[in-house]
A and B are shown apart, each in its own frame.
Chain A
């Protein structure tokens, strides 16, 4: 069912009785061509691009809980392509371009709002690093503008310029970055994939892989064994646990990242702002809530909740950089399980087991990567070749010393 102005008006006058479920609830079939494990953003996008670009394949998505219940439903909704290293920048810029046509491609309004992303800098060295990064962005066809303090005072008069421990010198601004209604991304991909014949199977947990002679033939689930030729694993924070079922250890740790939203307020924050001298970033949703976050808690966790040390650290950062938010109230806090890789960059690659393909290690950059991740993973699953924009995201890059380490933090996942 396509959404159109006429349809919306007709339904309004007929009591909305004509709207149908966004996706079917099929029983799993005994066999598919390709099974995508994980009904989050990346899994749904992968299935959508598989179905739309590599046709005539029987595809299923297996989701252990409810669709979109992982990190696609618990992030801070930001998209941007402001990376330093070309291997990342070209991938995230591809993603940003896909976001820009998401609504037309999927006939679903995810309220993509390109109100810009500003990364503040507070020292000469930080400025130099941002100039290098801004140039990387421009070299890759993205957009970037260097703001000085005067520019910022005009754009964001509410920042703390005059009483700051770490004075604001300027910012690197990506006007095309912004925010998206995150749940709508999952629903939009689910609806579009379903319409292309993908079976979305919720409450179906993978409990094992049938592997013979180094090749995977089927997955065991709580809803029975399902065969397929290829299996694409896109389960973010659960990567280590799922891949352990296939006997693989990953260069990944699972960490909790907390995020926060305030009560609804009249619009005041123009886009996304990231503090450069502490852990704090913020945007404001179309509904008015201040959506903000900071650093991961730092310890391995699957609890989907964190502790107050980080909450206080984030709010200290917020008060340091924009002390007007003191009287806004934090309404909800939650945690997502981040698949933190060993160099801070993702993996989209084959695994040593034939038939099993892996997509993970997104750290806390996974949401904005959703369309490109889906497209590149679909390309890999369909063609057995890495997509040109994801050629560096290989599983064996750590063995070879070809890390893609944006922050230069080394093999320390909680610092990326």
Chain B
């Protein structure tokens, strides 16, 4: 170098710059090696994760039909505004809440709740922000796709209950799985995710596993703003299985009508085939509209209505047929009579017991309605003689009554295919408690227990089941709604990773009936008494249908002490029955809350059910001819 200047070490300085430049480039190379060669796969996955999105395709839920194939529940497509959680994960939700709630007409409270649920989800999953989006909502989402790319509109099936309040308790409803349920044992480890729709209450819950389909998904590529760029694959969903129930919609409508026209509009009507336990109708009033739970959970008005259901003192959400426990009153005398015969407290030849117009236990007189002399069992049933049963109860002893409770299964659930059935309470339940607090089980409690009061409360379904078994001369079937589930085809090719196998159809598996053993003559005696209630000047003679002999028993169950039994404390009115008396085709129970005498209120409702049944049974022939003629 001509300009070499040794004092300046110029060459060395130039060399130093060169070395530094090379060191810097080497540094870059080392970092590249670390990022690309050592961690290349990690970053490749990260890149894939942020561009691949799984969009679930909800599976249509199985429909529910009555026994004649009429629709009880189906699904219809609606538009939902769906929000995906990437992009929100780290953004503060506060400013979004205001935007969403004003844009989609939602309550800010609700929006922030949804966002907090969403944040707990895995990345790149989504949740419904607004169901049943209106045209305005859809337009708003489309117009704001740049500001809120996390929102999209999806066509999704929504559960629809065309019958409204009819049969609501039996059907139940569907809703989003709650955070609590997600963590409960019943749902944990079954692959449920927030936002999944499950059955809540009724058949929807009991048969959820079969009604629910298997969701599919769409795998898509999105850009940095979450906008879908292209579709990679689509895995179709598998629909749920259709459920054919044992319900007869015509009978159900009659039952609902009877309750709607009753004095208090509160009560239960159940109709069952005693030959196999198929429930033909089950109405509980007051009722609710399941559609409000399905559609209303995301709107302020809907939430208000739901809250009102919960607060309502008449408890419309309670399925009184399986969850209401009522003193059975005189209907209790039927199973008790069977128990007394079985245990030998009375015999067919010597079944007479003194009525005496009542009984004095200690210094307390408990009255009968009148003085029936010393009637045999059948007359005691027909006339509903309390005096007879006071003494019969004492004769059986509380142990005998408890044995009867066990014989008929009043100490267990009926086993009906609905969730949350209540177990009746009987002296068996209370024995320990009473002995502990009162020292012994006193006779007066036995006297009360013998006419279905005090320590006895039963569910209407348990009473119907017990009395039906009397009609069947001892064969006690499990009441149920399932007739059959329809099969569903497989999705995809076998061997395919997304293959979902077919699901077979199946019918209700009848277990062996509970057998209550009694001699034919003994059955005859009880049946004669029950037949007489309607057909031989008994307590319900007013509901007699000529040519179709109803066997039944009235009940007037005290709610409060004598003297206070007015207004809302009036007696519950019961009527439990089957018909025809000696070859039953249908059994019916009716309970009208706080309406007074069984014969006056419950019995006519039962008669209406049989009439409805007969119209269709006997009217079937001309009806088909008419159809054929057309």
Are A and B physically bound partners?
no
Q: Please report B residues at the A interface, Cβ cutoff 8 Å.
A: none
Chain A residues at the B interface, C-beta cutoff of 8 Å: none
